[in-house]
Amino acid sequence: MSRPASDPSGLPLGLRLAFPLALVAITLAVFWPCVGYPFVALDDDANFELNFLYRGLGDEQLRWMWGWKSYHYGHWHPLTWTTFGWDYARAGLDAPSYHRTSLAIHALSVLTFWWMALELLRWCTGRVREQGERSGDLALHACAALATLAWAIHPLRVENVVWLTERRDLLSALFLFASVAAYLRMCRCGAARRAWLALALATYALSLLSKAWGMTLPVVLLALDVFPLRRWPSTSWRALLVEKLWFLPLAALTAYQAAAAQGEIAATVTLDEHGVLHRLAQASYGLCFYVLKTLWPTNLGCHYLLELDFDPRSALHLAAMASVVAITVLTFLLRRRAPALFATWFLYVVLVSPVLGLLQSGAQKVADRYAQLGAIPLVFLAAGALLAWLDRRPASAARALLASLAPFALVLGFFTRAQVRVWSSSETLFQRAVAADPDNYFVLHNLAVMLYRRTAWAEAIEIEQRSVDAHPGRGNELARHTLGLLYQMQGRMDEAERVWRSAVEWQPEPDDARWRGRLEFWMPDPSLCLTALRGPLGSRGAWAELAELHERGIARRPDVLQLYTDLDALYAQLARAQERVALWERAEQVAVLARGRVAAGLGRALIAAGRAREAESQVFRAVALERTLAQDALDGLSAATQRSGLPATLELFERARRAAVPGAMVENGIGKAYLAANRLAEAEPYLLRAQALDSQSRGYVVDVCELFLKQGRRDDALRNLRALLDVDPQNARAKALLAQAAGGGR
């Protein structure tokens, strides 16, 4: 269906341009302090300071960014990574440069929001069907400006804009607004309908490549068809649905990627951990939270925890569920008399549905940044109602509204500027979050780490102890580990040992309701603290005691693979080969442990016990299940076989070939066997073939460089090692071989 286009505005061109330019200027002024801020220790460190994969726009970086399975920290957003790669290419790790890019993206989002606001408010008030008077056009622009300001400089936008990790929110919103605006223009411009639809699809694809949360857009567009576009019932449901089919494949692919990325970091919470009623209560709480925080944005924090003793039957959650049901029923009953109310509520629920916890991941209950899209229907309801009221008033009312925009922006900007300052440093950020929620163990631990970094030991110990007290079980093991380190820094080793031992020895208070009926689930993972105990216990030679603590840890948490790996290393140190084998045979009985890693561990243990032939099946199985991590087991098997001579090693790899071990591993193994025997001419073709078959294996590159060095091709070895260290500067084998090559060694 097409409608005749109306005159976009009776206002002078200069005044029409002044509105968006003023909105951008106000937005930049409010958020400008952030351009001098550093990275914060809330994922920024892991995403940028410790991440070498995104640095630049070279072939390797772009392959990682745009790889179908290139998940990082539970997300897949290649376009966002591309902008970070551009930042690094021009500014390295200069955080202010990254902030300037994010602020520029937000400024562009203001422009696309303004465009969307004009389009949507025209439809809301019938301006696409009849020419507006000059005063009406002023009212339209004033209300669109009000909606844009209420969205762009609201305190809830601070997390989206100032937290660099969340640039994906900004970039996704920028293109999502453009997609909706193009769709709205398509619906009233019959002549260029296909061009506008193509633009809507293209910008939607860019939005999803920036972040997945716009996946609900097909449903949003269908709802807009009903109100305010009123394309139904004059256009059939079938025609409207067919039109949305263009958007569905993009949404479906992105939803798949989002789920896979969360699964990659095991962030998804099962129904056993968080039941259906719990999810409904959490979703209802979230729906109320974002409305109330939009209306009254106080006591904001960077992290809102899902309570350990979350009770869906508590008064708070029952009230939230009752409120959601009441609003839904009321707006539905009033849908004919007040369609804007029902449309607003429906769109609000759809837009925030991906982050309501219905498919819970992680330990976060709600987040300020999740209100970015949810606030849109709310601000348009207010702007549309005001515009409808102004249409019944004289022109002076529109001018009065225009005059009121300045004090409105001043007040809103003042509170938002104060929230921007909260993000000026990691310590300030976490102090504010602790003030908002004094029992939040996550931010307490992060604050303690900041105090630890500036050697404020006593204060850090107090804060970290509060974190451990708030949550001594699973999910807060880092706090217990750091508390021990703090005691160690002060020379209080007895207290450090006590804290680390408590990871194995902790038992809940009998009257603590948080663990009732779920104690097994909440037992802490003691592996990190047991690793810390290696120092003090090892200095006393108490290796047997440390091994016994690991056994107790496994008894409490048999699902933690690291405990088996660490105990295996202890048994190796104590020359208890048969106990190593028994350990991994026990691990085979634990269904949740990674099969490939268990098989690799058992294979290594059998090799150490002198049972190399028995180890073969386990090592070959490990290679089939988890190729990269099993490479060292295969190398160990090869080394054990080499004691019987080169022919035995060659026979081993022939058996590996028949067992479907990947060809690159077989070729590399044969090549290394010849290399160890100093038969360089025979080693070369195998090592080069292995590298050609698996060009991503950095270990194979080092093997070839070792060959070059033995052949006297020092320049070739140096060139390849330096190229490898450019992309993997922590590669220990490459660094050692480079030192040898640079020194002229062979």
Specify the amino acid at residue 518: R
pLDDT at 2 (0 to 100): 39
The tens digit of pLDDT for each residue in 230-261 reads: 988 888 889 899 999 999 999 999 999 988 88
* Residue 344: band (very low, low, confident or very high) from pLDDT cuts 50, 70, 90: very high
- The whole-angstrom separation of Cα 212 and Cα 304 is 22
The tens digit of pLDDT for each residue in 269-290 reads: 777 778 899 999 999 999 999 9
CA 745 vs CA 182, 356, 739: distances in Å = 66, 61, 9
Higher pLDDT, 60 or 131: 60
The tens digit of pLDDT for each residue in 31-47 reads: 999 999 999 999 999 99
* Residue 468: band (very low, low, confident or very high) from pLDDT cuts 50, 70, 90: very high
* Residue 10: band (very low, low, confident or very high) from pLDDT cuts 50, 70, 90: low
Among 221-235, 381-395, 527-541, 692-706, the range of highest mean pLDDT: 527-541
Whether the pLDDT of residue 268 is over 80: the answer is: no
pLDDT at 605 (0 to 100): 94
Whether the pLDDT of residue 361 is over 60: the answer is: yes
The domains of the chain are located at 13-422, 576-661, 680-746
- Residue 222: how many CA atoms within 13 Å on its side-chain side? 20
Residues 680-746: name the CATH superfamily.
Tetratricopeptide repeat domain (1.25.40.10)
What pTM does this model have? 0.84
Whether the pLDDT of residue 348 is over 90: the answer is: yes
Q: Which of 132, 118, 176 is nearest to 384 (CA)?
A: 118
- The whole-angstrom separation of Cα 573 and Cα 736 is 25
Over residues 581-604, mean pLDDT: 94
In this structure, are residues 587 and 564 in contact, taking their beta carbons and an 8 Å threshold? yes
pLDDT at 64 (0 to 100): 94
Over residues 193-219, mean pLDDT: 95
Whether the pLDDT of residue 155 is over 70: the answer is: yes
- The whole-angstrom separation of Cα 99 and Cα 629 is 38
- The whole-angstrom separation of Cα 85 and Cα 569 is 40
Whether the pLDDT of residue 679 is over 90: the answer is: yes
* Residue 744: band (very low, low, confident or very high) from pLDDT cuts 50, 70, 90: low
CB contact burial 308-335 (16+ within 10 A = b; e otherwise): bebebeeeebeebbeebeebeeebeeeb
Q: Which of 733, 673, 670 is nearest to 701 (CA)?
A: 733
Among 426-430, 454-458, 617-621, 653-657, the range of highest mean pLDDT: 426-430
Whether the pLDDT of residue 73 is over 90: the answer is: no
Whether the pLDDT of residue 393 is over 80: the answer is: yes
Whether the pLDDT of residue 50 is over 70: the answer is: yes
Over residues 654-677, mean pLDDT: 90
* Residue 263: band (very low, low, confident or very high) from pLDDT cuts 50, 70, 90: confident
Over residues 279-303, mean pLDDT: 95
